[in-house]
Amino acid sequence: MRPLRLGLVAYPGLGGSGIVATELAERLARMGHQVYLFATERPFRLSRESPVTYVPVDLPYYPVFPGPLYTLSLAGTLEREARRLGLDLVHTHYAIPHAAAAYLAFGEAFPLVHTLHGTDVSLLGMDPAFHGPTRRALQAARATTAVSRALAKEAERAFGVRPRVIPNAVDPERFRPRPEHKRRYAEEGEWLLLHASNFRPIKRVPDLVRAFAKVRRRLPARLLLLGKGPEEAEARRVAEELGVAPWVTFHPPTPHPEEVLGAGDLFLLASEEESFGQAALEALASGVPVVATAVGGVPELVTPEVGRLVELGDLEGFAQAVLELLESPDLKRMRERAREYAVERFHPERITREYLEVYQEALG
């Protein structure tokens, strides 16, 4: 395949879709493609030495506007820069409003690929204010992809498109077991339970603390919550109320989550909605089995060989699953399997090849 000139569009913050887009951009650039990453700020995980060129999207504000016009500004930037840079194709991550902005910029005359990530379909995509333009934009695109089968089905129902399923990737060099780091985060003899997210209400972080309190009654354990977001205060309150605050650590977001994830014994995810669960995949690659709620695309990722699934809201069942794994003689073997499974099924080379196939088809 000849080297391509690609424009990727992403949110720059802590969300998984921005991480997925940034890492894909870096891999494509290292393969010799010319990659431009469009975002309102330099994406969180884009390293200073990256071969990817960051293209800023302004958020112009004039007093006459009710707010900054991101969609229009992105459309204008894409149209102008695609011409100037000679882009072959634009690939957006997270459909709202990226798909509509790209459609506004190019119509159907230009190869557009959109990757759906989750709430862009389920929550925002179904919002009557966004649904029409997003549906039209997705239907007009050369290709759409979704990060899980569950999300692809939901997108078909919501937008009448049939996305190709391309799961997210994980870098096995970066996310690897680091048991030697455990003592940084836990006392001698304590089990280290991890969670990482943006602490939004759908992540149900206070529920994790409730389940942890049940675990803590039986075993010496510590819960490390990596990230920040709106539910932090409530999670702290629940930890105080249940008397487990001394064993719940709040760790601020870091550009090096691998340092923390590789140190854990188990990773916990109690979300009420999750199209994929990127942090859970990073944990698996780090050799850390996962206990998670069986929602969205999570059952496609967390199979019985690498973790346990629990019904949403069943906190007793969640604690039991954690205890069962911690006390299992098979835990060490499960840790090895988690890593092997993640490396084999979600290797970046394999996933990048799949995106390149989509680009090739989109380019005709």
Question: In terms of CB distance, is 16 or 262 closer to ligand GMT?
Answer: 16
Non-local CB neighbours of 109 within 8 Å, separated by 6+ positions: none
**Under a CB-based contact definition with an 8 Å cutoff, are residues 43 and 18 in contact?**
yes
Measured from the CB of residue 124, what is the shortest distance to ligand GMT in angstroms? 8
Q: Which residues bind ligand GMT (CB under 6 A)?
A: 11, 15-18, 20, 94, 117-119, 147, 168, 202, 273-278, 296
**Under a CB-based contact definition with an 8 Å cutoff, are residues 286 and 258 in contact?**
yes
Non-local CB neighbours of 66 within 8 Å, separated by 6+ positions: none
Measured from the CB of residue 16, what is the shortest distance to ligand GMT in angstroms? 3
Measured from the CB of residue 233, what is the shortest distance to ligand GMT in angstroms? 20
Measured from the CB of residue 38, what is the shortest distance to ligand GMT in angstroms? 15
Question: In terms of CB distance, is 215 or 342 closer to ligand GMT?
Answer: 342
Measured from the CB of residue 220, what is the shortest distance to ligand GMT in angstroms? 31
Q: What tokens were used for 363? A: 């380019």
- Find how far residue 262's CA is from the centre of its chain: 18
Question: In terms of CB distance, is 17 or 144 closer to ligand GMT?
Answer: 17
∠ CA 190-184-271, rounded to 5°? 65
Residue of this chain nearest to ligand GMT (CB atom): 118
Measured from the CB of residue 138, what is the shortest distance to ligand GMT in angstroms? 16
Question: In terms of CB distance, is 163 or 296 closer to ligand GMT?
Answer: 296
Question: In terms of CB distance, is 230 or 243 closer to ligand GMT?
Answer: 230
Question: In terms of CB distance, is 11 or 103 closer to ligand GMT?
Answer: 11
Give the other-Cβ count within 10 Å of 325's Cβ: 20
- The helix/strand/coil state of 259 is helix
Q: Which of 32, 30, 33, 10 has the alpha carbon at shortest distance from 20?
A: 10
- The helix/strand/coil state of 189 is coil
- The helix/strand/coil state of 37 is strand
